[in-house]
Amino acid sequence: MGSIFKRIVLAFLLGLLAACAQLPSLEERSVSSAYTDTADTRLGRAIQPLAAGHPGKSGVSPLARGGDAFAARALMAQAAEKSIDIQNYIWHDDMAGTLLFDALVDAADRGVRVRLLLDDNNTVGMDEVLAALDSHANIELRLFNPFMYRGWRWVGYLTDFDRLNRRMHNKSYTVDNQATIIGGRNVGDEYFGASEEFLFIDLDVLAVGPVVKDVSRDFDRYWKSASAYPASLILAPAASDGLGQLKAKAEQIKREPRAEGYVEAMNELPIVRQLLDGSIELEWAVTRMVSDDPSKGLGQAQEHEMLPKRLGRIFGVPEHDLFMVSSYFVPTRDGVDYLTTLARDGVAITILTNSLEATDVAAVHAGYAKRRKPLLEAGIELYEFKKESSTAPLRDRGLTGSSASSLHAKTLSVDGERIFIGSFNFDPRSARLNTEIGFVIDSPRLAQRLPQAIEKQAADIAYRVRLDDSGRLVWVEKRDGRSIVHTVEPGASLWRRMSVWLLSHLPIEWLL
C-alpha cells in the first residue's frame, strides 16, 4: 500500500506542476512583419546600386575573426534607421552581450524598431535585463519554447521534456531588411575572441542583396510561430529603472581597460563604412537561405522539410571532394555508411572537429569517438582541433589573447563549387531536434579558399587521427618541426577519457 500511495502522490504532484505551468495564450500577441520600404535608408541607398549590378546574386563577405564579427554587429546597429531583427540561441549578459544590448537600446532611442527573438534555454539569471529591454517602447522581445518555472528549470523538463528538449539554434542579425549576418556565433565574450579564459573559433557571413529578404521572411515565420512567446507573458515586470541600470552597466564597461579591444575593433573594421559608401568588395554569388520550419520546435515538422534533406537536395551527391568543419560531429551509423560509401567511390573526404581536450560537451564527443575507426578505414581524413596552440592562425587573439580555444564553426564545402555556412552541426540534435539556419553559396572561390586555408594550417591547429599498423587509433601532432605520436587522446585526463567511453555505450546518441 505504501508504494501505491507514493506513486499516487507523485502522479498528483506532477499533474499539479504541469497544471501550474500552463503556457499562456497567444491570442492577444501583437502582429508585425519585416519592413519592405527600406530602400531610402542609408544602407538601402548604398546597397541597391551594388545589387543592381549583379542581378539574381547576393553579395557576401565571411567574418572569420571574432573582433570583426562583434564590430560588424555593433556598427550595423549604429547604421540602422528603421529596423533590427535578431534571432539567437545564446546571448550572455557579459561584456560583449551588454555592449550589444546597449547598441540596440541606442537604436531604439532613435526610433528604430527592434525585434529580438531568443531561445530561452540559456537565459538563466537574465530575466531582469530581458524584461528591461522589452519595456522599451521600440523593443519587443520574444522567447522561443520558454520555461515557465524560471528558477527551477529542471521541473520543466520533468513535465514538458519533449518541447523543452527542442531548441531554436538559429542565428541571424538583420538591419533595415538590407544587410544580414548569418553563421555560427552566439553573443558572448567567448564567441567574439574576448574571453580571458576561453574562446570559440567560429564563422559568420555578412550578406546583402536578395537573400536578405529571404532571411527577413524567415524571421517573420519564426516571430509568429507557435513557439515564440512575448516576454511580457513569461517574465515578471521590469524594474522602473531597468533600462537605466542597463545603460549604467554598459557605460561602466566602456571605461574598463578590458573593453579597449572592442572599441579598437569597431574603429578598425572598415566593412560597414565601405558598405555605406559603396566601396566594399563582396563576393557576388547565387546564395540560398536554408532553414528549418519553426514547427520543428514542437516536433511537428516533416522529415523532408528538415535541413539535412534540404541540403542533400541542393548539394546532390559529391563527386570529387567533401570538406566538413563541425564543432559537434556525430555521424551516427547511417552517416558512417553514407560517408564511407562516398569515400570508397573515390570522393576525397576531410573532416575537422574538436578533440576531446577542446570540446565543451564531452557527451557529444562520445557519439563521435565510437565512429572514428570505420571512417579512417575507408580512407577519410580526420583532424581534431587542439585546445591550445602557439601559432594557431584560426584563433582570434585580437582582443585578449585567450590561451584555450574550441572549434565552433559549421561549414561544408562540396566539389570546390558550393559552400554552406550556418548554425547547423552535423549531429542528430541539429538534424532532428533543434531548428537551424544557413546559407548555401555557389562560389568556387569561397568553397575552395576555406578548405585550402585549413588544410595548410592543419598541422598547427589540429591533431591528425590515424590508424597505426596494428589498427589502433593514434593522434599525430606537429610541434617544433617534429612529429609526436599520441596513443591516447592528447590533453585529456584518464577520468575524462573513461567518462567518454562510458557515455559512448549509453543509448543517448539521438540526444547529441
Note down pLDDT in tens along the chain; length 512 residues.
456 655 554 544 455 455 456 899 999 999 999 999 999 999 999 999 999 999 999 999 999 888 899 999 999 999 999 999 999 999 999 999 999 999 999 999 999 999 999 999 999 999 999 999 999 999 999 999 999 999 888 899 998 999 999 999 999 999 999 999 999 999 999 998 776 555 678 899 999 999 999 999 999 999 999 999 999 999 999 999 999 999 999 999 999 888 888 888 888 888 888 888 888 899 999 999 999 999 999 999 998 899 999 999 999 999 999 999 999 999 999 999 999 999 999 999 999 999 999 998 889 999 999 999 999 999 999 999 998 754 443 444 343 334 468 888 899 999 999 999 999 999 999 999 999 999 999 999 999 987 787 777 777 889 999 999 999 999 999 888 889 999 999 998 889 988 888 888 888 888 87
Q: Give the sign of the dihedral formed by CA 340, CA 343, CA 344, CA 347.
A: positive
- Taking alpha carbons only, the member of 430, 438, 435 closest to residue 510 is 430
- Taking alpha carbons only, the member of 242, 103, 248 closest to residue 173 is 103
- Name the grid cell of 389: 596552440
- Name the grid cell of 403: 590561451
What was the pLDDT predicted at 283? 96
Query: Phi/psi of residue 148, each to 5°?
Result: -80, -30
- Taking alpha carbons only, the member of 372, 369, 503, 510 closest to residue 428 is 510
What was the pLDDT predicted at 197? 57
pTM, two decimal places = 0.92
3-state helix, strand, coil in the chain (%, to 5): 45, 20, 35
Q: Say which residue the cell 500552463 belongs to.
A: 22
Query: Among all residues, which ones are annotated catalytic?
Result: 169, 171, 176, 408, 410, 415
Query: What fold does the segment set 36-273 form as a domain?
Result: Endonuclease; Chain A (3.30.870)
- Taking alpha carbons only, the member of 327, 326, 38 closest to residue 180 is 38
What was the pLDDT predicted at 6? 53
Q: Where are the alpha helices (DSSP H) in 345-377?
A: 362-369, 372-377
Round to whole Å and give the CA distance between 86 and 244.
22
> Is residue 441 a contact partner of residue 419, using CB atoms and an 8 Å limit?
yes
- Read off the DSSP letter of residue 143: E
- Rounded to the nearest angstrom, the gap between the alpha carbon of residue 391 and the centroid of all alpha carbons in its chain is 25
> Given this structure, which CATH class describes domain 302-511?
alpha beta
Round to whole Å and give the CA distance between 398 and 403.
13
Classify 455 in phi/psi space as left (phi over 0), alpha (psi -120 to 50) or beta: alpha
At 299, which amino acid appears? G
What was the pLDDT predicted at 392? 41
> Is residue 234 a contact partner of residue 148, using CB atoms and an 8 Å limit?
yes
Which residues make up the CATH 3.30.870.10 domain(s) of the chain?
36-273, 302-511
- Read off the DSSP letter of residue 494: H
